[in-house]
C-alpha cells in the first residue's frame, strides 16, 4: 500500500512539473506584453486641436490612422492621411503598412491629419463630416497661399465660410471689426472683408452643410486645387515645379502652368538617381514614344515624386490597386505599390454607408492670436505643410508601368444625405429640408460666381524638350 501511495505522489509531482513550465511560459508572455513599450503620439487635427493616444512602439501606421478616424467618427477615410516632418523638414506621408518607428526614424512622434487625395467632385462624398473636413483643409491651403485665388474667389469662399460658421448675416452681431478676426486670404484687406460681408448677406437661409457644399463647388474649380508641388529643373536646367494631381502631371514655371500630361498620355514613370522620367505615348502624327526627364534636388526627392505619382494614378485611375510584380522587370529599388482603396472602391463603400448623420462640432476658423512683430499667428498656418512627399531610401532606379486597366466613366452614385444638424446660430433661421433649396440671390453674388468661374483660363502650352527614348541602364546608386 505504501508503494502505491509513493507512486501516486511521484505521478502527481511529475504532472505538476509538466504544468508549471506551461504556466511559467504564459506568465512570461504576459510579462513581455506588460513590458511592451508604449509611445504617446500627438496628432494635429484639421481644426487645429490636438489628439493624443498611446500606441505600441512597433505599431504600424494604420493603427494610429484608424485611431484618429475613430476619434473623428470618419468613415470616408481613404481621402485622408497622416504626415510627419523628416530631419530635412520635408513632409512625409505615414505608410499604413509599415511600422511607425521605422518611418519616423529619429523624428518626434508628432503627426498632422490632412487630406491626401483631393476628390475632383466633392459632391459625390456621402457624408457631411467628410465635406466639412475637406473644407477645413482647403481653408488652410487658401490662408497659406498654397491654393491661389483671385480677389472675387477669396470673397466668395469667405462668404460661405461665414455662413457655415455664423449662420445668416446679422448686422448687430456680425460687425466688420468682428469679421476681420477671420482669415480669408494670405494678405487680407479691408476691401476684401467688405466684399465678404456683402456676399454673406445673400446666403440667407443656407444651412452649414449647404454652405460647405457651395464652398467646395467653387474651390474645386481652382487651377491649383489638389495639386501636390515639387521643385525640379527641366532638361535645360530651368527651375520649374512638378505638380501631381488627380488628372496627371502638371508643369509650372513662374507660377504659370506650361504643360500638362494626363495619366492616359503617360506610358511609364521612373526615377534614377536624382532624375525623374515620364515616357509619353506617341501622338497620331508621331511614330516613336518620347521620354521627358526632370532633375530633382536629390535621389530621395526623385523617388518622392515617383511615389506620389504611383499613389495618385492608382487611387484616381485604377479600379483596384495593382499587386507588386514578381517579374524580373523590377529587379532593383523599391517594390512600393499603393495599398489602400482606390477612389472607385471608396465610392462603392461610401454608397453602402447606412447610419444617422453623425453630429460634429464645428470649430471657428478665426485667428487665434497676433504675434509680437505684428504678423498674424494662425493655428491653420502651422498645419499647412507645403513642399514634397515622403522620404524613402532605395537602391537603383524604379519604374512604374501605367497600366491601361484604368477605370472608365463615372463612379458609383452616392446616396443623398437625409438629415442635417444645424449650426446653433442658424437653427432659428434655417429653412426646412436638405435638398437644394432656393436661396435669396443677388446681382453681386451672381456676378461673383461668374467672375470666379472665368478666373483661370487655360494657359498656353509651350514646347517641352524631350530626349529620344533609350533604355535606362539599371546600375545601382
Helices (H), 145-238: 151-166, 176-179, 190-200, 208-219
pLDDT confidence of 469, banded at 50, 70, 90? Answer: very low
The Cα 16–Cα 224 span in angstroms is 73
Relative to beta strand 248-253, strand 239-245 is: antiparallel
Supply the pLDDT for residue 35: 61
pLDDT (tens digit per residue) in 193-220: 999 999 999 999 999 999 999 999 999 9
| Cβ–Cβ under 8 Å, residues 44 and 26 | no
pLDDT (tens digit per residue) in 349-396: 888 888 988 888 887 766 544 333 333 333 333 333 333 333 323 334
**Torsion sign over Cα 457, 186, 51, 360:** negative
Supply the pLDDT for residue 459: 36
pLDDT confidence of 237, banded at 50, 70, 90? Answer: very high
For the chain, what are the domain ranges? Answer: 38-115, 122-220, 228-323+334-351
Same fold, 38-115 and 122-220: no
The Cα 468–Cα 19 span in angstroms is 74
Q: What length does the chain have?
A: 477
The Cα 236–Cα 256 span in angstroms is 18
- What does the mean pLDDT of the chain come to? 76
Q: What percent of the chain has pLDDT over 90?
A: 49
Residue with cell 498674424: 376
| Cβ–Cβ under 8 Å, residues 468 and 290 | yes
Mean local confidence (pLDDT), 294-323: 90
What CATH number labels 38-115?
A: 3.10.20.90
Choose between 333 and 312: higher pLDDT: 312
Among residues 86, 47, 45, the alpha carbon closest in space to that of 67 is found at 45
pLDDT at 100 exceeding the cut of 90: yes
pLDDT (tens digit per residue) in 135-183: 999 999 999 999 999 999 999 999 999 999 999 999 888 877 788 888 9
Supply the pLDDT for residue 450: 77
pLDDT (tens digit per residue) in 406-461: 443 333 333 333 333 434 444 433 333 333 344 445 777 877 777 777 765 443 33
Supply the pLDDT for residue 311: 94
Choose between 363 and 468: higher pLDDT: 363
pLDDT at 467 exceeding the cut of 60: no
**Torsion sign over Cα 365, 368, 371, 374:** positive
The Cα 257–Cα 340 span in angstroms is 30
Task: List the single range of 9-23, 101-115, 151-165, 302-316 with lowest mean pLDDT.
Answer: 9-23
The Cα 290–Cα 283 span in angstroms is 10
Beta strand spans in 423-471 (E):
467-468
pLDDT (tens digit per residue) in 47-85: 999 999 999 999 999 999 999 999 999 999 999 999 998
3-state class of 79 per DSSP?
Answer: helix
Supply the pLDDT for residue 441: 59
Among residues 470, 310, 285, 328, the alpha carbon closest in space to that of 400 is found at 310
The Cα 139–Cα 398 span in angstroms is 36
3-state class of 188 per DSSP?
Answer: coil
pLDDT at 264 exceeding the cut of 50: yes
3-state class of 268 per DSSP?
Answer: strand
Among residues 52, 70, 161, the alpha carbon closest in space to that of 111 is found at 52
**Torsion sign over Cα 272, 277, 279, 285:** negative
The Cα 142–Cα 219 span in angstroms is 10
CATH architecture of 228-323+334-351: Roll (2.30)
The Cα 74–Cα 84 span in angstroms is 21
Q: What is the CA radius of gyration of the chain?
A: 27
Cell of 195: 466684399
Supply the pLDDT for residue 446: 79
Relative to beta strand 91-93, strand 275-280 is: unpaired
Supply the pLDDT for residue 419: 37
Supply the pLDDT for residue 291: 92
122-220 sits in which CATH class?
mainly alpha
Among residues 55, 51, 89, the alpha carbon closest in space to that of 73 is found at 51
| Cβ–Cβ under 8 Å, residues 48 and 380 | yes
Amino acid at each position: 500500500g505504501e508503494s502505491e501511495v509513493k507512486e501516486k505522489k511521484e505521478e502527481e509531482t511529475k504532472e505538476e512539473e509538466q504544468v508549471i513550465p506551461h504556466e511559467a511560459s504564459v506568465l512570461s508572455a504576459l510579462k513581455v506584453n506588460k513590458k511592451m513599450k508604449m509611445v504617446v503620439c500627438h496628432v494635429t487635427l484639421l481644426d487645429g486641436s490636438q489628439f493624443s493616444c498611446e500606441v505600441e512602439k512597433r505599431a504600424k501606421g494604420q493603427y494610429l490612422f484608424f485611431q484618429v478616424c475613430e476619434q473623428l467618427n470618419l468613415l470616408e477615410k481613404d481621402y485622408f492621411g497622416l504626415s510627419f516632418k523628416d530631419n530635412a523638414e520635408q513632409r512625409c506621408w505615414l505608410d499604413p503598412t509599415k511600422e511607425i518607428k521605422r518611418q519616423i526614424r529619429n523624428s518626434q512622434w508628432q503627426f498632422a491629419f490632412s487630406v491626401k487625395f483631393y476628390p475632383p467632385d466633392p459632391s459625390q462624398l456621402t457624408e457631411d463630416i467628410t465635406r466639412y473636413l475637406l473644407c477645413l483643409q482647403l481653408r488652410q491651403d487658401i490662408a497659406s497661399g498654397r491654393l491661389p485665388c483671385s480677389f472675387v474667389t477669396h470673397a466668395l469662399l469667405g462668404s460661405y465660410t461665414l455662413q457655415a460658421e455664423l449662420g445668416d448675416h446679422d448686422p448687430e452681431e456680425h460687425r466688420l471689426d468682428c469679421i476681420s478676426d477671420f482669415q480669408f486670404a494670405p494678405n487680407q484687406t479691408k476691401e476684401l472683408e467688405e466684399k465678404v460681408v456683402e456676399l454673406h448677406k445673400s446666403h440667407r437661409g443656407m444651412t452649414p452643410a449647404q454652405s460647405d457644399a457651395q464652398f467646395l463647388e467653387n474651390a474645386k474649380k481652382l487651377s491649383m486645387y489638389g495639386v501636390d508641388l515639387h521643385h525640379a529643373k527641366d532638361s535645360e536646367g530651368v527651375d520649374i515645379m512638378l505638380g501631381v494631381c488627380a488628372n496627371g502631371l502638371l508643369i509650372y514655371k513662374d507660377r504659370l502652368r506650361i504643360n500638362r500630361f494626363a495619366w492616359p498620355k503617360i506610358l511609364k514613370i521612373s526615377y534614377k538617381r536624382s532624375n525623374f522620367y515620364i515616357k509619353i505615348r506617341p501622338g497620331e502624327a508621331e511614330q516613336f514614344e518620347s521620354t521627358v526627364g526632370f532633375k530633382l534636388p536629390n535621389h530621395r526627392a526623385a523617388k518622392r515624386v515617383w511615389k506620389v505619382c504611383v499613389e495618385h494614378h492608382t487611387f484616381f485611375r485604377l479600379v483596384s490597386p495593382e499587386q507588386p510584380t514578381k517579374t524580373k522587370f523590377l529587379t532593383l529599388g523599391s517594390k512600393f505599390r499603393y495599398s489602400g482603396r482606390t477612389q472607385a472602391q471608396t465610392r462603392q463603400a461610401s454608397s453602402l454607408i447606412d447610419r444617422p448623420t453623425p453630429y460634429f462640432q464645428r470649430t471657428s476658423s478665426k485667428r487665434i492670436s497676433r504675434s509680437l512683430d505684428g504678423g498674424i499667428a494662425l493655428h491653420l498656418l502651422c498645419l499647412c505643410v507645403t513642399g514634397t512627399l515622403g522620404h524613402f531610401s532605395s537602391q537603383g532606379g524604379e519604374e512604374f508601368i501605367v497600366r491601361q486597366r484604368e477605370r472608365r466613366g463615372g463612379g458609383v452614385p452616392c446616396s443623398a444625405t437625409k438629415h442635417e444638424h444645424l449650426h446653433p446660430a442658424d437653427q432659428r433661421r434655417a429653412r426646412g429640408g436638405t435638398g437644394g433649396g432656393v436661396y435669396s440671390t443677388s446681382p453681386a453674388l451672381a456676378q461673383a460666381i461668374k467672375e470666379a468661374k472665368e478666373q483661370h483660363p487655360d494657359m498656353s502650352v509651350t514646347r517641352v524638350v524631350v530626349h529620344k527614348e533609350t533604355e535606362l541602364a539599371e546600375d545601382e546608386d
